[in-house]
Structure 1
Amino acid sequence: MTHEPPPQEYARKQTGPLSEAAFTLLVQGVLDYGIFMLDPQGYVISWNAGAERIKGYSAAEILGRHFSVFYPTEDKEAGKPQWELETAVADGRLEDEGWRLRADGSRFWANVVITALWGEQGELRGFGKVTRDMSERRAAQHALSERRRLFDHLVQAQETERRRIAWDVHDDSIQAMVAVGMRLELLAERVPESCAAELERLEASVRGAINRLRNLTFRLNPPGIDRHGLIEGLSNHLDDVVGAWGLTRSFEHRLDREPTPETAITVFRIVQEALLNVRKHAHATAVTLRVESADGGILTRVIDDGTGAPMSRDVVHEHFGIIEMRERAETAGGWWSMRSEPGTGTTVEFWVPSPEPTPPLTDDLP
């Protein structure tokens, strides 16, 4: 039977030469972080394998050299290395991100922590310095920022084109149809009675076409989303459009903040298409819309109580409205799904990221 030593005895065993050797072995073996020490003047006095991997200097090449060798010329001229040591002394530690130099002169983006080390008498013994290469993360941030910029540009271009088409339809096609309707009305007063019924049918067709064109312009450029935000835009759409279809509707929302205009437009357009599909295909009497913040984005569900239908591959991959909804969500960096079974209605669910507006990345050091 074995007995564990009491905590005090265990602590004493861990503070001897063996413990110090193990700690040194640990520090020396770390590859993802450059861990080294500076003397009080900033000269390198220790060097681990991670520092060699990240910065490219062997211990023999760097020991005894001033740590300012890692900084670009503009930072050295600005006195940044000395300022960092002075700040670490004053505050106990300093954390910074910025450009650093490798032995071959190439730059990498580094996260750096400098900690002042004090002796038992309160004297400055030097500095501990931990460096991590953040170049891949920075490149990923740049790529994500560029993708977001392109996505925002795409959404804005699509909405601009929709507005242009809506205006063209309103100012050209609708006005032309209205003129045709007025001419038919005048003509009806002059033709024989035998032609009146046919003219009335033509006039009804023109009125129907005008109404369809007006509905089209509304779908292309619904009012409110750009002025009042996502929630009010969706609420108005449910009241003005879905209510006019005679469907019972409910709206549940829990957003922690207003999304960017591009994200709001993306959510609105997918919901708009999902509701249009409910009207055309679901034979529903009620629809529920739920919008909530989740996982750094917006999770949305459109649920109807219609007849439902089995989800075949042809439905998912060939229906234009479904393709448009899925592509909008995926282009935004999110996902889209639809569940439907006979007799249980249909649920359209999608998630899109909702990043906070951020300024573009720069190469300026903090």
Structure 2
Amino acid sequence: LEGQLHRFNTIMTAVPDFVYEINSEGRFTYASQSLLDLWQIPKEDAMGKSFAELDYPPELAGKLDRQVQQVIATRRVLKDETPYTSASGTREYEYIFFPLLSENGDVESVAGVTRDITERKQTEQALRESEARFRAMFEQASVGIVQIGDGGRIVAANKGFCEFIEVDEHDLRQMSVGDVTHPEDLPRERELTRRLSAGEIPEYTLEKRYLRPDGSILWGTMTATFVRGSLGESLYTLAIVQAIGDRKRAEEQLRVSEERFRQFAENSADVFWIVDARTQRFEYVNPVYEKMWGEPRAKVMQDSDHWLELVHPKDQEMAKEAMPKVLVGETAVVEYRIIRPSDGQTRWIRDTGFPIWNDQGEIYRVAGVAQDVTDDKKRTEKLRMTEERFRLLVEGAREYAMFLLDVDNTITYWNAGAERVFGWKAEEAIGRNGELIFTPEDRANEEEEKEVATAKAEGCATDRRWHLRKDGSRVWVDGVMRRLDHANGDIRGFAKIARDATELRKSEDQLREANEQLERRVHQRTQELQAMNESLEAEMTQRQNLEREVLQATEHERARISQDLHDSICQELTATAFLLKSQSKSLATENSPAAAALTEAAEMVNANAGATRDLARGLHPLELGPSGLVAALRELAARTNESVTCRCDCPRSLRIQDASTAVNLYRIAQEAVNNALRHAHANEIVICVERERDEIVMSVCDDGTRPPRSRRSKGLGTQMMKYRASVSSGTLTVESKRGKGTKVECRVPLRP
């Protein structure tokens, strides 16, 4: 037994794992030497102690005690991991607790085995990180990554390749390399793959065309390599695919660009030239050289210094200095004159040379553009003279303030007129903001910004306001701000022109004050006239009412007289005629002459009675109800018809509700008929009444002849007719033409 125990201890000493036993009270009853070495205490100091007493962290000691009791209670093996810090540092450990049973089956204690798994954990972590990096690279890489198995079968593909080929990964797994490769590129790829699998090459790169399901073709660069296992066996082919469509397009664009450059250079109005930086010989000169320089370009291609011979002697030194500057990396712009051998003309040339760098950062070519600027020089000189004249004009216009501002509203020019109007000298104003001349209240209201905004949007903005002078006084200006543009339409600044209008402003203020006083006086006078007008209207209304009452009284008096004539005189005359006839009959046998005289007297009395009745009816016609006017006019025509032809053309359905209007129309017709009989000696009279829209139109026409206008009586008849028409809110016109008679027409509104 002792020998076995010795062998057991020897084994436990050699085993790197920690082996130990814990009783039901959680105290150690055995610990292998490796565990004692970890604790760095002798065996006698460790036995009988708990985890806490062995300086385990409280949280870990509590956890381990609970797990020991769990194993005792459940009789099951428990496996767990935990970090533990000892004198050698913090390490990761894996431990197993399992119950030790007695002969009767009770749990006597718990045995434990703990293993240091720090290296394994680190390896696993490194593996996980490596796999994560690969997975991230596989899934997130912008390039395509494809795993290819035996026979060219696609095993997996990342998002980049799926988007490149426009096929989802599930469908790609059902496809092979041949399904996505252009047929013309497939043999070359298969040959390279064969050599790769045979170990002849470690990898290969191939530019190939890929096919999308829609038949479109994409260019890509594929780099393929074998991925092998730990034993060297081939697992799969890993292909990395990068789209080179942009590069291919760039190459095509470069080719097209070079072709365009050639066409452009061949057809340009400027000379394009290229010189080898090392030999300083011309490599290219376009055909325009022959026209601009007046000689074949073959001469300059054969002798690079020949062009300098054509440069004006005074400009040769300056022209020669350009090339050394370009060869050290500068861009040189030089203007010189040439004397053309073809016609002897002197032309101005602006020559711009610039370096061309290679991939190594070296200047290997010098290129340039030569332009004939002779006409530009002439225009520039003309412009200079124009600007000089403009400057003289502006400086001489001292009555006007003229100044320029840039896009930031900074004053860039200030003429003498501006100095006179505002007080600041040019050196004081130039460089300052345009708000310099604005009053404090206008600055607070941002009037200057509003003016600039208006000028920007509309091209100009009026400037009529009080401005500030240098001495603090104010000046009223009448001016305008205009936007100034570059040739391409971009804004380059503003120009402001203004004149001192202070005296004019004062005159305007005085005129405005005078106008206001005049308006007040006119308003006052208007009120007075309005009051007088209202009083006059009241008087006229009162007068019209009185006249209406007079007409009514006249009609009442006519009616009374008519009634008296009819009831008294007519009755008495009738009775007298009856008496005379009676006496005539009684004397017929006794005295026939007397009887005849009485009979004649009776007839005369009857005639007078009839005339009296007609007079009574004329004074007061039939009652003029709604339809009474037509009847009264017909009766008037019938009475008049006894001496002349008189007819009445009136519709029987015509009705006039207003009795006053009917009476006035009747009296007008009566007066017109009487005038035709008395003054015109008419043979025919026509009375007409009709309705036109919202008016009643009555006319009396005759065929008589009236005396000349100078001999006509200006009696009351016509005036009364017009007055009666106005009382009924109507109008009356009298038209008389020589040989055509007279027409009296009255129009009155139809009242409900």
Question: Please, what TM-score do these two structures have when normalized by structure 2?
Answer: 0.27
Q: What is the aligned partner in structure 2 of residue 327 from structure 1?
A: 719
Distance 1:12 1:329 in 2: 67
Among candidates 573, 576, 595, match of residue 196 of structure 1: 595
Matched, 1:234 2:635: no
Distance 1:156 1:259 in 2: 14
Distance apart, 1:272 and its partner CA: 1.0
Q: In the TM superposition, what whole-angstrom CA distance separates every residue of 1:245-290 from its partner, at most 9, and x where no partner exists?
A: 253332389x9986672x5433321211212344565443451425
Q: Secondary structure at the match of 1:198?
A: helix
Distance 1:303 1:10 in 2: 73
Distance 1:30 1:158 in 2: 55
Matched, 1:345 2:744: no
Q: In the TM superposition, what whole-angstrom CA distance separates every residue of 1:132-165 from its partner, at most 9, and x where no partner exists?
A: x842442242133122112211111111111121
Distance 2:536 2:579 in 1: 63
RMSD, aligned CA: 4.7
Q: What is the aligned partner in structure 2 of residue 141 from structure 1?
A: 537
**Are the structure 2 counterparts of residues 249 and 139 from structure 1 closer, same or farther at C-alpha, using a change threshold of 3 Å?**
same
Among candidates 713, 721, 724, match of residue 316 of structure 1: 713
Distance apart, 1:297 and its partner CA: 8.9
**Are the structure 2 counterparts of residues 348 and 186 from structure 1 closer, same or farther at C-alpha, using a change threshold of 3 Å?**
same
Q: Secondary structure at the match of 2:608?
A: helix
Is the 8 Å Cα contact of residues 338 and 347 (structure 1) preserved in structure 2? Answer: yes
Among candidates 265, 286, 290, match of residue 663 of structure 2: 265
Distance apart, 1:337 and its partner CA: 3.3
Matched, 1:155 2:547: no
Task: Mark the runs of 5 or more structure 1 residues left unpaired by the alignment.
Answer: 1-7, 32-47, 57-107, 111-132, 318-322, 358-366
Is the 8 Å Cα contact of residues 630 and 650 (structure 2) preserved in structure 1? Answer: yes
Distance 2:684 2:732 in 1: 27
Is the 8 Å Cα contact of residues 688 and 700 (structure 2) preserved in structure 1? Answer: yes
In structure 2, give the amino acid aligned to 1:205. Answer: M
Among candidates 553, 561, 575, match of residue 165 of structure 1: 561
Matched, 1:177 2:573: yes
**Are the structure 2 counterparts of residues 188 and 52 from structure 1 closer, same or farther at C-alpha, using a change threshold of 3 Å?**
closer
Q: Secondary structure at the match of 2:549?
A: helix
Distance 1:198 1:10 in 2: 115
Task: Mark the runs of 5 or more structure 2 residues left unpaired by the alignment.
Answer: 1-456, 467-477, 479-504
Distance 2:685 2:532 in 1: 49
Is the 8 Å Cα contact of residues 260 and 354 (structure 1) preserved in structure 2? Answer: no
Q: Secondary structure at the match of 2:586?
A: coil
Distance 1:184 1:315 in 2: 45
Identity rate of aligned residues, in percent? 19
Q: What is the aligned partner in structure 1 of residue 686 from structure 2?
A: 287
Q: Secondary structure at the match of 1:308?
A: coil
Is the 8 Å Cα contact of residues 671 and 717 (structure 2) preserved in structure 1? Answer: yes
Q: In the TM superposition, what whole-angstrom CA distance separates every residue of 1:287-343 from its partner, at most 9, and x where no partner exists?
A: 14256789x997643112x343443534433xxxxx24213135455666351534x
Q: Secondary structure at the match of 1:247?
A: strand
Q: Secondary structure at the match of 1:224?
A: coil
Distance apart, 1:216 and its partner CA: 0.6
**Are the structure 2 counterparts of residues 162 and 329 from structure 1 closer, same or farther at C-alpha, using a change threshold of 3 Å?**
same
Distance 1:195 1:158 in 2: 45
**Are the structure 2 counterparts of residues 28 and 300 from structure 1 closer, same or farther at C-alpha, using a change threshold of 3 Å?**
farther
In structure 2, give the amino acid aligned to 1:287. Answer: V
Q: What is the aligned partner in structure 2 of residue 77 from structure 1?
A: none
Q: Secondary structure at the match of 1:237?
A: helix
Say which structure is richer in helix. 1
Is the 8 Å Cα contact of residues 574 and 609 (structure 2) preserved in structure 1? Answer: yes
Is the 8 Å Cα contact of residues 278 and 284 (structure 1) preserved in structure 2? Answer: no
Is the 8 Å Cα contact of residues 28 and 50 (structure 1) preserved in structure 2? Answer: no
Q: In the TM superposition, what whole-angstrom CA distance separates every residue of 1:58-88 from its partner, at most 9, and x where no partner exists?
A: xxxxxxxxxxxxxxxxxxxxxxxxxxxxxxx
Q: What is the aligned partner in structure 2 of residue 221 from structure 1?
A: 620
Distance 2:459 2:622 in 1: 72
In the alignment of these two chains, the number of paired residues is 243
Q: In the TM superposition, what whole-angstrom CA distance separates every residue of 1:70-129 from its partner, at most 9, and x where no partner exists?
A: xxxxxxxxxxxxxxxxxxxxxxxxxxxxxxxxxxxxxx979xxxxxxxxxxxxxxxxxxx
Distance apart, 1:188 and its partner CA: 1.3
Is the 8 Å Cα contact of residues 326 and 335 (structure 1) preserved in structure 2? Answer: no
Q: Secondary structure at the match of 2:650?
A: strand
Say which structure is richer in strand. 2
